[in-house]
Structure 1
Amino acid sequence: MKKIIYKRTNIQNRTIVLWYVLIFFSFSNCNDFLEIDDPIGQIPHEEVFMNETTATASITSLYGKLRDEVLINGNSSGMGVLMGLYADELDYYGAQGDFYENLFFHNVIASDPTVESIWAKAYNLVYMSNAALEGLENSDQFSMDFKNKLRGEALFVRGLVHFYMVNLFGDIPYPKTTDFIMNSQIHKIPVNLVYENILEDLNEAKSLLGDEYISGERIRANRWVVSALLARVYLYMGRWQDAEQESSNIIDNTTLFSLEIDLNEVFLKESRSTIFQLKPGNSGSNTEEAAIYIFDSPPPPFVALSPNLIEAMESNDLRKTEWIGEVSDGTQSWYYANKYIQQFNTGTSMEYSIVFRLAEQYLIRSEARANQNNIVGAQQDLNVIRNRAGLDNTLAITQEELQQAIVKERRFELFTEQGHRWFDIRRFGIASQILEPIKPGWSVTDILFPIPESELLINPNLAPQNSGY
């Protein structure tokens, strides 16, 4: 059976002393985020947080992990592909019997190596974030302003990882230490407490970070990036007023952010609608999303957009013509996401992988307003997105109609971006309604992934297993 192959590392098994971890993540997967002259392994752990360059490396490497391995990466192990297949967004055309086919048909099991990898890599990044936080806390070498910025970024990453994990697995641990004994015996906590911990991390991060983008490019967290995640978290929690406030903070900042009128410019690295993006690892490289989704000859080699997505879009929707490509053999057509178009190295990178962008904030605010019965405000925000796509104003006039219209608009605006479609149909409680007719293996318990079997064997405190597995 063909599967994604990863060398697995459990945080419970990490008995390596802190300096090995710090040296590893200070220099691996950073590439263009920073330039370090010191060879790997030659900086003792106590010196990592005595030097601004290596301390910064410990933080920028967290973004490198997100870009290359963890949850929101643009390759085949990222949320865009995995949850696109799990929902009704992508169809599968790859090898029979592998994890992707099992995912597509909802035959996921608790012993699958890819499920184990998602869990292990996410908590490895949490461990790295905690190591950085502890290193900063114990260092007296930096100004408070410098330490605050790096601490804010580490807290943001920790909150971001847990946001995705709680939506994939439900009740999960929230480790805040590198202590091996504590982590090896850690308990799951309920979803509502996970969210409270996420909010605690993000609100502290927001208080520590400034308004400016640290590097000039939009590739490291600042206060606006944290607000973007907070708006999403509050939306998922049903805290409508808070979600509206956070999204309004960003939308109203017209000095930094504005919607690109030309849809072809939305995903360029200089786009003013971008709030946060992940920079490619090598000079001149572009996004992995383009390489994954685009194909130029039939049949699709791996995945293609579901025909139902294309058929559900209005005929004059510009996103249908600008963000979707078509390949035909003369009798049948297949469709691919064409948001990112640069598949190869272009000498100078043209596209970075976008994590947060302004259009989502308009849709968040529209939904938050609809749930507060602010019909006019919700319509206005929804129409901003519709009008840019060449569509007329929404005809939805009631709260229920608006909620349905927002789900549809999110489907057409955010397809193949970090699993939005799956998380939307899950939180709106319509996953069974949508997937049962088209997914023979669908079960209501598929709303959550299984806790990896290997993790339960190592740490019984993670029991019970999620229902259905």
Structure 2
Amino acid sequence: MIIQKKQLKQLSKYFLAVLIATFYNCSGFLEQEPGSQTSITELLDSTDGVITALNGAYHDLEANVRSSYTIYADMQAGNITFTPTETGSNTGQITVPANLENVYNFEDLADESNLEGFYDDSYDIINQANLILEYIETLPDSSDAVKNQIKAEALTIRAYAHFLLSQVYAQNYGFTTDASHLGIVYNKTTLTNGITYPSRATLAETYTLIIDDLTAAINNYSDILLLDGPTYSYFNKTSTQALLARVYISKYDWQNAYNLANEVILNSGTILTPTEDYITEWEKPDLPISEVLLEFSIPRDSGGTVGGSLSSSYGFTSTADYADYVASEDLLNLFEPNDLRGQLFLEANLPTLIDGELEDRPYYFTKKFQDNPGFIAIRLSEMYLIRAEASLGLENLEACKDDINILRNRANATLLTETTDLEGILLQERRKEMCFETQYLFDLARFQQNITRGEDCVSRTCNLNYPSGKYILPIPNSNIELNSNLQQNDTY
């Protein structure tokens, strides 16, 4: 196969990116005598080196989900609107941030996709996990238990990255009757094995591979702690079971989704945050809510300085210093007056340009992500919602109603007394409970519902009827030019 000069340039750039990503935060292994160079083999030929590489993969995973991805699902589905410009000639004007403007307008470009970095970085992370998996078996200084724990976490990282990619770049599982539509490239080998030109698997095949990786990971977990920091910052058996429950519910595999969600609810050792603590738990600086199962914690330097957090997207400091994204009117109007979840918003009056004049208008910043929070990947509330959805799929309507009521009771919302329209109620309950937690667009796709944004939508296209090619994004053209076997999504 002849590789064109442009492809060679892109491939060299890709190799460099992978190497940089692999060695990130591995300074102890890179500080060699002048003139020497640390290779992948040298880095990964010891347990300490592999654990350092694993830490680097988590670091890059946290940065990747904290990118435009964290805004994407809620913005597209109508949970998010935008704040007015603070200063300058555009003071008071409401504009969509340039880095997501095309996505928000359902006009993303394959040549310059707003989420191109997310796509590329996801596969970099997958390659890091694959490197670890390829070297782990031959470690001369490691016990089987340690090897198994490293393998479990690397497999979970690989599966998680692929799952996120499948949500953004492949239509939902029910888009075709047998999920035979395009999934993603599922990469289980590293670039060190040579240049390959993989094709996209079907979505059914993609899910089988994700489930295989997560099942293997669950079977390898132990109680060994490999990395420093809070245990909720890294994958473990419980959070991997919770992730697998999410995968199964996305696949409409009701029984397996029910079993895993139920297992986590009953045996994780975590309980729902009590009613009396719900608001204060979300408002805590730096620490996640107590019911967290997995949070990718914010990076800090040796002096404790924060390297980045979700407050950069959702935070409010003052009327002269605030982030871009706030709750939409549609979302706010869902909450009953006594629903605690409706109190999870910080109201601020901001100067807004109305008919050529600046007027103070109220905006509502989520309290979930103030004061340097990490990325909440999974929490226990979602397991109740998954168990409820699985019960609905299994036609156990009372069990579905009961699980919805558990969350409603915690939130002081009105309890359900009947089992009519549970599907619509469940979707709305997910929207209220999981808002700003990267779920709602994927919920709408799974439930095969239209996207309907409210009156504060500022897009050229505010609504989208299901099914549509615009429920997913284009594969970046730079990857398609490199890989002739990589098929583009329809409409792009």
TM range (shorter): 0.7 to 0.9
Kept in 1, the 8 Å contact 2:97–2:324? The answer is no
- Residue correspondences, number: 436
1:412 to 432, 442, 449: 432
Q: Greater Rg, structure 1 or structure 2?
A: 2
Equivalent runs, 1:126-165 vs 2, <5 Å: 126-165=126-165
Q: 1:104 to 1:29 in 2, by over 3 A?
A: farther
RMSD, aligned α-carbons: 2.9
- Which residue identity is paired with 2:257? A
1:193 to 184, 205, 208: 205
Kept in 2, the 8 Å contact 1:327–1:334? The answer is yes
Kept in 1, the 8 Å contact 2:108–2:114? The answer is no
- Which residue identity is paired with 1:342? D
Residues 1:340 and 2:369 aligned together: yes
Equivalent runs, 1:41-440 vs 2, <5 Å: 43-68=38-63, 70=64, 72-73=65-66, 77-93=67-83, 98-170=98-170, 171-179=183-191, 184-210=196-222, 217-253=231-267, 255-261=269-275, 262-263=277-278, 264-266=280-282, 268=284, 269=287, 271-282=289-300, 283=304, 285=306, 288-295=309-316, 296-297=318-319, 302-321=324-343, 323-329=344-350, 331-343=360-372, 351-398=373-420, 401-417=421-437, 419-432=438-451, 440=460
- Which residue identity is paired with 2:185? P
Kept in 1, the 8 Å contact 2:18–2:124? The answer is no
Distance across 1 between alignment mates of 2:274 and 2:411: 11
1:310-347 deviation digits (Å, cap 9, x = unpaired): 012212111111x211111475211111113314xxxx
Residues 1:28 and 2:20 aligned together: no
Distance across 1 between alignment mates of 2:28 and 2:209: 34
1:44-96 deviation digits (Å, cap 9, x = unpaired): 4333233322211111211101111x2x22xxx24221222222011134656
1:375-399 deviation digits (Å, cap 9, x = unpaired): 221122111111111112124413x
Distance across 2 between alignment mates of 1:10 and 1:267: 44
Distance across 2 between alignment mates of 1:383 and 1:373: 17
Task: Tell me which moved more, 330-339 or 146-155.
Answer: 330-339
Kept in 1, the 8 Å contact 2:69–2:118? The answer is no
Unaligned runs of 5+ in 2: 1-8, 86-94, 171-182, 351-358
Distance across 2 between alignment mates of 1:55 and 1:182: 21
TM-score, with length taken from structure 2: 0.81
Distance across 2 between alignment mates of 1:253 and 1:181: 41
Q: 1:15 to 1:327 in 2, by over 3 A?
A: closer
Q: 1:37 to 1:127 in 2, by over 3 A?
A: closer
Question: 1:102 deviation in Å?
Answer: 2.0
Q: 1:64 to 1:352 in 2, by over 3 A?
A: same
TM-score, with length taken from structure 1: 0.84
Distance across 1 between alignment mates of 2:127 and 2:57: 10
Kept in 1, the 8 Å contact 2:146–2:224? The answer is no
Unaligned runs of 5+ in 1: 1-8, 344-350
Q: 1:50 to 1:460 in 2, by over 3 A?
A: closer
Task: Tell me which moved more, 144-153 or 131-140.
Answer: 131-140
| Paired residue secondary structure (2:148) | helix
Q: 1:356 to 1:301 in 2, by over 3 A?
A: closer
Question: 1:413 deviation in Å?
Answer: 0.9
Kept in 1, the 8 Å contact 2:288–2:376? The answer is no
Q: 1:326 to 1:271 in 2, by over 3 A?
A: closer
Task: Tell me which moved more, 265-274 or 78-87.
Answer: 265-274
Kept in 2, the 8 Å contact 1:290–1:342? The answer is yes
- Which residue identity is paired with 2:72? L
Distance across 2 between alignment mates of 1:148 and 1:141: 14
Structure 1 equivalent of residue 6 of structure 2: none
| Paired residue secondary structure (1:252) | helix
Question: 1:243 deviation in Å?
Answer: 0.5
